[in-house]
Copies of this chain bind each other. A is one copy, B any other.
Amino acid sequence: MTSFAPGRVLGIDPGLNITGYGVIERIGGKLQIVEAGVIRGGDRTSLTKRLAGIYHGICEVLTQFQPQTVALEELYSHYERPRTSILMGHARGVICLAAEQAGVTVTAYAATKVKKLLTGNGRAPKMQMQQAICREFGLVTPPEPPDVADALAIALSHHFSQQLPTLRELTQSDRANHRLRS
């Protein structure tokens, strides 16, 4: 892959059974869902076959939609559920590989940061997150299955975090304002 759609973000919610994905982009001043869906690993097949399924699915999405960035949930979000974390690690591994092979940057967002960026509350419940997704994309009902909404939330987090001035810029700007006022 040599060219990317600038500003197009692929959010991924990795899972061995269902991996949600959502491609978003600002088109004509409006944030839009370019494509969203799930890749099913197949819960009755072997671990290696499921991983191959996820890898090929993500490769296809990367080739077809050419995002500039892949946004993934942070590595250590599920410390309290080691089994889930380790399995998610396997899925996340093949997703990172697909992105690296396509030359696409991977950025990670902690679950609390995703919630904070979308609702202002790092501990927002699922319903509040779904409402935020509906509001941002002008949807009447939240996307189904929930893995799609989760992937869109991660993509949105990346989009928002790119719009925000950095803390350093803010600090410098505040200092400049302070100098102007004093």
A residues whose Cβ falls under 8 Å from a Cβ of B: 47-49, 51-52, 55, 75-76, 79, 82-83, 85-94, 96-97, 99-101, 106
Contact = CB atoms under 8 A, between A and B. Distances in A.
A9 to B, nearest CB: 16
Nearest to A75: B86
Contacts of A85: 82, 85-86, 89
A52 B96 CA distance: 8
Tell me how many chains of this kind the complex includes.
Answer: 2
Nearest to A104: B48
A129 to B, nearest CB: 24
B99 A48 contact: yes
Given A48-B100, A52-B101, A100-B51, A82 B76 contact: yes
A90 to B, nearest CB: 4
A51 to B, nearest CB: 5
A88 B67 CA distance: 28
Given A51-B100, A87-B89, 18 more contacts: A47-B106, A48-B106, A49-B100, A51-B97, A52-B97, A55-B97, A75-B86, A76-B82, A79-B82, A82-B82, A85-B86, A85-B89, A86-B86, A89-B89, A90-B90, A90-B93, A91-B93, A92-B93
